[in-house]
Amino acid sequence: MSESVLIENGSIIDGSGAEPFPGSVLIKDGSIAEIRRDDSAVKPLNAGVRRIDATGQTVMPGLIDAHCHLSFDDAGSNAEIFHQRRNALSALVAAYNAKKLLRAGVTGFLDPDSTFENMLDLRDAIEAGVAEGPRMACGAYALITGVGGTAGRLIADEGITGYYKVVDSKDDIVREVRRQVKVGVDWIKVHVTGIVPRQAARGEVCVWTEDELKLLCDTAHDLGTPVMGHCRGADATRMAAETGFDLIFHATAMDDAALQAVIDRRIPIAPALTLQANIVDYGERIGTSSELIDLFAREITDSIETMTAAHKAGVPLLCGSESGFSLVPYGDWHWKEMEVFVKYFGMSELEAIRCATAEGARALRMENRVGQLAPGYEADIICVKGRVDRDISLLGDPANITSVMIAGQEQDLSPLPPRKPIPGWRLAAMGSMLTREVALRGAPDTPLNVEELH
Ligand SMILES: [Zn+2]
């Protein structure tokens, strides 16, 4: 039996959206036994209860990131993920990066798709206690059709490329869904939309028929496995909702029909706009062209009306960071989707925190078990200096995070040893284009091409 712990004198955010209150949390055997308000009658504690003093701190559920690719290792491009990576090494590197998530207060995350589907192995290693990291729920390879995903011709016509797998017939769909269930996925990941380079002006197009999506969802559901989809565009989002998807990523450019389909079924959405928000906020500093910054800004502002309406109608919005790419490195931005929700979708800080905690539990398939501070819940708890309900960005500085517990077990937050380069791991760049004009002008000119990411 593990020890009992009392976290006292903190300001408690329980994750339900309720106002914070001064109080304490009693943990027994890895679960939350009791929440005490400071003004309630003080009950005597058994001897041997360890106390943690959280004076001046927020005590809240650990963050749940609904969209984090831990096998990608902060890649700068899909080409790097597809061609530079090795199976065992990428799993080992992911185990290192998992510790960065812990230090950022992340106690659970959904890994939608991974190279070599090796995040299933990391998940099992963490569960078995042979690696340190947050709770994980996993997809395996993202399913696409022969039209491709978001990397155009970089994706082979058939078979596996990086984190993608092509399924080009109904038999293929059924076979692959069954295989993924066999190897232990928590979710089936589908790229419902992709980019056809020659038709890029149309935006992402739906690469499936309605029949195929229905077959895919039915096959997965019959085997007790939910389905999540990358959807950009109204028709794809509507079709995903109508054919039975259980979680939708992005859901950009919804029209009335798509919005209604999502609302009717209360399908959770993880907009995962942190990457775009980072480009809007800091793109100039990393040399992103102004056209691209405008494009990303529009992607956020175009979603304001629909996401606000979806939220008001009771659709759960989940916080996903899209970490795994160099624009959203591990450990730094898992909190930022909450800021996006507050800044653009008109949520209160406490509503946004609910999205990253209580609602996030859906991504882990652990609803009513994690994501809230309430009796009977697993003790996935973080302590953060200051009042997070007044300033969410406090979560961005690991120095503010004083304690991270998963099932009542305190996680190691000591600084990670610095990492050295791995030969052949990154896509080598010789620098940006050296035109005569650049040479004579002498100014740095490093436009960033991110249109093929995620
Ligand atoms: Zn993604």
User: Contact 361/369 with Cβ under 8 angstroms?
Assistant: yes
Cα(251) to centroid(ligand 1), Å: 13
Confidence of residue 178 (pLDDT cuts 50, 70, 90): very high
Lowest-pLDDT range, 100-104, 190-194, 289-293, 364-368? 289-293
**Other Cβ atoms closer than 10 A to 391:** 14
Per-residue confidence (pLDDT) for residue 436, from 0 to 100: 86
Confidence of residue 201 (pLDDT cuts 50, 70, 90): confident
Cα(69) to centroid(ligand 1), Å: 7
pLDDT in tens, 119-128: 999 999 999 9
Mean pLDDT on 287-316: 94
Cα(410) to centroid(ligand 1), Å: 29
Mean pLDDT on 44-49: 77
Contacts of 230 (CB under 8 A, 6+ apart): 112, 142, 149, 150, 189, 190, 191, 192, 193, 249, 250, 454
Cα(448) to centroid(ligand 1), Å: 19
pLDDT in tens, 65-82: 999 999 999 999 999 999
Confidence of residue 431 (pLDDT cuts 50, 70, 90): confident
User: Contact 286/300 with Cβ under 8 angstroms?
Assistant: no
Per-residue confidence (pLDDT) for residue 43, from 0 to 100: 67
More confident residue, 188 or 444: 188
Confidence of residue 444 (pLDDT cuts 50, 70, 90): low
Contacts of 342 (CB under 8 A, 6+ apart): 348, 349, 352, 392
Residue tagged 């729920």 (tokens): 137
Per-residue confidence (pLDDT) for residue 447, from 0 to 100: 52
Q: Calculate the alpha carbon distances from 294 to 195, 205, 291 in Å.
A: 19, 21, 5
Cα(157) to centroid(ligand 1), Å: 21
Nearest alpha carbon to residue 451 among 362, 348, 327, 320: 327
Per-residue confidence (pLDDT) for residue 48, from 0 to 100: 85
Per-residue confidence (pLDDT) for residue 454, from 0 to 100: 52
Cα(356) to centroid(ligand 1), Å: 17
pLDDT in tens, 386-423: 999 999 999 999 999 999 999 999 999 999 999 999 99
CA–CA separation, 311 and 340 (whole Å):
14
User: Contact 373/25 with Cβ under 8 angstroms?
Assistant: yes
Residues with Cβ within 5 Å of ion ligand 1? 454
**Other Cβ atoms closer than 10 A to 57:** 24
Per-residue confidence (pLDDT) for residue 93, from 0 to 100: 98
Q: Calculate the alpha carbon distances from 364 to 120, 162, 263, 368, 423 in Å.
A: 13, 24, 21, 11, 35
Contacts of 430 (CB under 8 A, 6+ apart): none
Per-residue confidence (pLDDT) for residue 202, from 0 to 100: 85
More confident residue, 48 or 93: 93
Cα(38) to centroid(ligand 1), Å: 42
Cα(252) to centroid(ligand 1), Å: 14
Cα(350) to centroid(ligand 1), Å: 25
Cα(346) to centroid(ligand 1), Å: 24
Q: Calculate the alpha carbon distances from 172 to 160, 162, 211, 344, 366 in Å.
A: 13, 18, 14, 41, 30
Cα(435) to centroid(ligand 1), Å: 34
Confidence of residue 203 (pLDDT cuts 50, 70, 90): confident
Whether residue 288 has pLDDT greater than 60: yes
Per-residue confidence (pLDDT) for residue 387, from 0 to 100: 98
Mean pLDDT on 296-307: 95
Confidence of residue 218 (pLDDT cuts 50, 70, 90): very high
Per-residue confidence (pLDDT) for residue 200, from 0 to 100: 85
Whether residue 451 has pLDDT greater than 80: no
Whether residue 40 has pLDDT greater than 80: no
Per-residue confidence (pLDDT) for residue 155, from 0 to 100: 94
Question: What's the mean pLDDT when you consider all of the chain?
Answer: 94
Cα(454) to centroid(ligand 1), Å: 5
State percent of the chain over pLDDT 90.
85
Lowest-pLDDT range, 107-116, 150-159, 236-245, 267-276? 150-159
User: Contact 213/243 with Cβ under 8 angstroms?
Assistant: yes
Cα(275) to centroid(ligand 1), Å: 10
Per-residue confidence (pLDDT) for residue 243, from 0 to 100: 98
Q: Residue 265 class from Cβ within 10 Å (0-12 exposed, 13-18 middle, 19+ buried)?
A: middle
Whether residue 41 has pLDDT greater than 70: no
Confidence of residue 1 (pLDDT cuts 50, 70, 90): low
Confidence of residue 32 (pLDDT cuts 50, 70, 90): very high
Confidence of residue 437 (pLDDT cuts 50, 70, 90): confident
